[in-house]
Chain A
Amino acid sequence: MSGPSTYQPQNKAMNWIERRLPIFGFMHASFVAYPTPRNLNYWWTFGAILSFMLAAQIVTGVILAMHYTPHVDMAFNSVEHIVRDVNYGWLLRYLHSNGASMFFIAVYIHMFRGIYYGSYKEPREVLWILGVIIYLLMMATGFMGYVLPWGQMSFWGATVITNLFSAIPFVGESIVTLLWGGYSVGNPTLNRFFSLHYLLPFVIAGVVVLHIWALHVAGQNNPAGVEPKTEKDTVPFTPYATMKDAFGISCFLIFFAWFVFYLPNFLGEADNYIQANPGVTPPHIVPEWYYLPFYAILRSIPSKLGGVVAMFSAILVLAFLPWLDNAKVRSSRYRPLAKQFFWIFVVVCILLGWLGSKPAEGGYIIAARILTFCYFAYFLLVLPILGRIEKTRAVPNSIADDVLAKTGSRKTPMVSTAIALLAAVSLLAMGAQETKAAEGAAQPPAVKWSFSGPFGTFDRGQLQRGYKVYKEVCATCHSMELLHYRNLAEPGGPGFSTAQAQAVAAEATVKDGPNDEGEMFDRPGRLADRFPSPFPNEQAARAANGGAHPPDLSLIAKARSYARGFPQVIFDFFTQYQEQGPDYVHAVLVGYQDTPPAGFDLPEGSYYNTYFPGHAIKMPKPLSDDQVTYDDGSPQTVDQYARDVTAFLMWAAEPHMEARKRLGFQVMIFLIVLTGLLYFTKRKVWADAH
């Protein structure tokens, strides 16, 4: 099972245990003395990165489960409760949601590494298949996890994916009903998804143990694809691979932290900040980015069952890779044709991912079909044929020879690293794009916000003015039920004192009861109260507003977005732009036109708005000059009101933004220092091995 070890613990207590359960010797043989090929490059650190991410997801997930409520009426609000009220809840939530994306980035790199270097070939077939099983379990876990916040995408994604099983002939509908536990996605579905989402990561952990066991039986593959022959070919796992993995993990953490602290919603969907509504399907349902290539394959086949079969086959074909590719040479380094087709395959996957985010119309469908064919052709045609006809380059005699050789093999990892990184970011960015282009709404102009960028903060005065606008104008029709009066006094917000917030609360009337007579009664608000809703229920709201429901504004600044377009979305990753929501809200507030443009048919009871999708909005122009009195001398213009109330809404949606960016700065500095130290430690450790 492991390498050479004649390990005997020095410590008497450890020796006592060792005689009865040789765990220390086992650990030593597997992770300290274990012979590791000395020519591994950084693509080999992703196994450790994945193990780290699995642990991170389990830890953050178990903690989130302490505060989450898996009931359809409470799930969405319980997640907001975590983000708003639980100590460091915002951090735990963002670590977990972005951690899932990081987990998938790492697993895709890990898999591509395996394909490129032939790590699935004899004797590592079972290792590879265990990996495919882990990947499938990850997809199931990720899918169920995404349902738990019970947003619009959660609900409709669950509906679409569970409906896939209805494609199965004869038993399909019964299976779907069984999965749902009802006649549609509902509370039984949510509850069982929560249970299974908690369970599967531990199943994954078990399969990972098998995966590492299978790895240790065969030993690791290496970039040369030549098995170790002598002791000169390997180094002990600790400290060589341990320190290299630690350095790799540290670099990865910087990438992770960039998302968590500065771009926490970059990879997500704005629609998931809207509570699930079984009566309204979002215009564009998209799964999380890591499923997009398979989503594209599913939609490219015109038949329902065919699409489902194609999608699952696209994953299952991976398991057959050891038998589809029977080339004798393992590593694509020495297979010039296979290498080129590999990179074409990578591009095909990225493009399929991009197509998965686009609406299934016109040219997109044709492109998806061609690329689906290319995807399967790579496995079913290209690799088997290449195995027969390819003229490979000479493979080095041994690993030691490969390390000593001076021919630029050290340079290629850098180039391929750069390509892969660019590809990764492009895939993420393109997948993360909104697909709202179809309705022809104009792009909202970018507004300069005080809270944008890594050091952005809210302007207290602006938040206070914005609150005044909300209270005097918007609160007539729009609720803000996730805010409590005590939030007004919390740090990072409008900066009211506790006494001021108490006074503001006391001005409001709140329903309470029942009293001893059994009746509900009104009383002045207190700090602990939520902002009261102007209407007792949705029906009353609709009746008072011409059939339209004024949305709750607690999350509106994060629940709205617009497509930034490629390559702008790549630049956004680096500039940390995520103010799509505020830009949109501001644009709508100032975007009314008294007379619609010629030829536009405005329905009765609607108003023309340049930036509202479809241009016909039920809300009349809410703001006019001098409507609200500002005590600090700020201009009392529509544009100023719009900016101020939008800033307030951004704070309402993300009250801990300042703390997030502040902690983010400290974390980034720390990680850069740690990465630097680990780099020099790794170099020192490896100094005598190269």
Chain B
Amino acid sequence: MTTASSADPTRRDFLYVATGAVAAVGAAAVAWPLISQLNPDASTIAAGAPIEVDLTPIAEGQDIKVFWRGKPIFISHRTKKQIDDARNVNVTSLPDPESDQARVKEGHDQWLVVIGICTHLGCIPIAHEGAYDGFFCPCHGSVYDTSGRIRQGPAPANLPVPPYAFLSDTKIKIG
């Protein structure tokens, strides 16, 4: 390294570049498992498999809370008044515009299935509370309606709807 050999600098450089490149690839290949292990492991993924919920015990006007992937899910059996209240609204005036029809399954309008985590900072809202008889979050005062949509307060978005499907009229599969 004291005197650069002018005879073949490119050959030496190529060797150094090749070694450096292979070493860099190796470093990346080593880093990948170290990062991947942070992702959910197989048992966590298995525990997060879809769940089936029987709707028959839920009377009109009642709601239950189930857990899926560690998150609380509200399942409400809505009354006709609650459905009408949710639909008699100018959708464009909502902070997060979304029609009630888009948030329920066709033919099953009385069933509202939402993730019970306030979209502000993550507290669990209380059902049948607030100005719209929907949900009310006590942490910072967000108010949701009977479709789980944000109406007042700091929350930016409606209560999310988890992926779910009706297996029959009385059974849904969440996830």
Identify the A interface with B (CB < 8 A).
59, 63, 66-67, 81, 84-89, 91-92, 239, 484, 486, 490, 526-528, 670, 673-674, 677-678, 680-681, 684-685, 688
Contact = CB atoms under 8 A, between A and B. Distances in A.
B36 A87 contact: yes
Given A677-B15, A681-B16, A684-B15, A239 B37 contact: no
Contacts of A490: 42
Contacts of A688: 1-3
Nearest to A253: B26
A257 B99 CA distance: 59
Contacts of B19: 674, 677-678, 680-681
Nearest to A667: B29
Interface string B1-16: 1110000000010011
A393 B47 CA distance: 72
A656 to B, nearest CB: 11
Given A63-B34, A239-B1, A688-B1, A89 B41 contact: yes
B18 interface: yes
B58 interface: no
B41 A527 contact: no
B139 interface: no
Given A678-B19, A684-B15, A92 B37 contact: yes
Taking chain B's interface residues, is the majority helix, strand, or loop, or is none over half, making it mixed?
helix
Interface in B34-91: 34, 36-39, 41-44, 46-47, 49
A63 B38 CA distance: 9
B15 A670 contact: no
A86 B42 CA distance: 6
Taking chain A's interface residues, is the majority helix, strand, or loop, or is none over half, making it mixed?
helix
B23 interface: yes
B22 interface: yes
Most buried by B among A67, A89, A526, A684: A684
Nearest to B38: A66
Interface of B: 1-3, 12, 15-16, 18-19, 22-23, 25-26, 29, 33-34, 36-39, 41-44, 46-47, 49
Contacts of B36: 87-88
B50 to A, nearest CB: 10
19 contacts: A63-B37, A81-B41, A85-B43, A86-B41, A86-B42, A87-B33, A89-B41, A92-B37, A490-B42, A526-B49, A527-B46, A670-B22, A677-B19, A678-B19, A680-B15, A681-B16, A684-B15, A684-B16, A688-B2
A528 B26 contact: no
A59 B41 CA distance: 19
Given A87-B33, A88-B36, A486-B46, A685 B18 contact: no
B47 A528 contact: yes
Contact of A674 (B12, B23, B41, B47): B23
A486 B48 CA distance: 13
Given A527-B49, A678-B19, A681-B15, A484 B33 contact: no
Contacts of B44: 85
A681 to B, nearest CB: 5
A413 to B, nearest CB: 24
Contacts of B29: 670
A85 B37 CA distance: 10
A679 B41 CA distance: 39
Nearest to A685: B1
A528 B46 contact: yes
Contacts of A59: 34
A323 B29 CA distance: 48
A261 to B, nearest CB: 13
A208 B158 CA distance: 56
A285 B41 CA distance: 34
Most buried by B among A85, A87, A528, A681: A87
A88 B37 contact: yes
Nearest to A683: B15
Given A87-B33, A684-B12, A677 B22 contact: yes
Given A528-B49, A677-B18, A91 B26 contact: no
Contacts of A674: 19, 22-23, 26
A528 B51 CA distance: 12
Contact of A86 (B3, B22, B37): B37
The list of the 6 closest CB pairs from A to B, nearest first, reads: A88-B33, A528-B46, A85-B42, A677-B19, A85-B41, A86-B41
A673 B47 contact: no
Contacts of A81: 41, 43
Given A486-B42, A528-B46, A684-B16, 16 more contacts: A59-B34, A85-B43, A85-B44, A86-B37, A86-B41, A86-B42, A89-B37, A91-B33, A527-B49, A528-B47, A673-B22, A674-B19, A674-B26, A681-B16, A681-B19, A688-B2
Nearest to A236: B1
Contacts of A681: 15-16, 19
Nearest to A490: B42
Nearest to B19: A677
Nearest to A246: B23
B6 to A, nearest CB: 14
B13 to A, nearest CB: 10
Contacts of B46: 484, 486, 527-528
A370 B17 CA distance: 56
Contacts of A89: 37, 41
B1 to A, nearest CB: 6
Contacts of B3: 688
B54 to A, nearest CB: 12
A55 to B, nearest CB: 11
A27 to B, nearest CB: 19
A434 B25 CA distance: 40
B65 to A, nearest CB: 14
B66 to A, nearest CB: 13
A62 to B, nearest CB: 10
B62 to A, nearest CB: 15
A553 to B, nearest CB: 20
A262 B151 CA distance: 61
A680 B26 CA distance: 18
A500 B39 CA distance: 27
A363 B168 CA distance: 78
A490 B46 CA distance: 12
A643 B32 CA distance: 37
A87 B39 contact: yes
A680 to B, nearest CB: 6
B18 to A, nearest CB: 6
Most buried by A among B12, B34, B37, B46: B37
Contacts of A92: 33, 37
Contacts of B23: 674
B79 to A, nearest CB: 24
Contacts of B26: 670, 674
A81 B44 CA distance: 11
A221 B36 CA distance: 43
Contacts of A678: 19
B138 to A, nearest CB: 28
Nearest to B34: A63
Most buried by A among B25, B34, B39: B34
A8 B16 CA distance: 25
B174 to A, nearest CB: 15
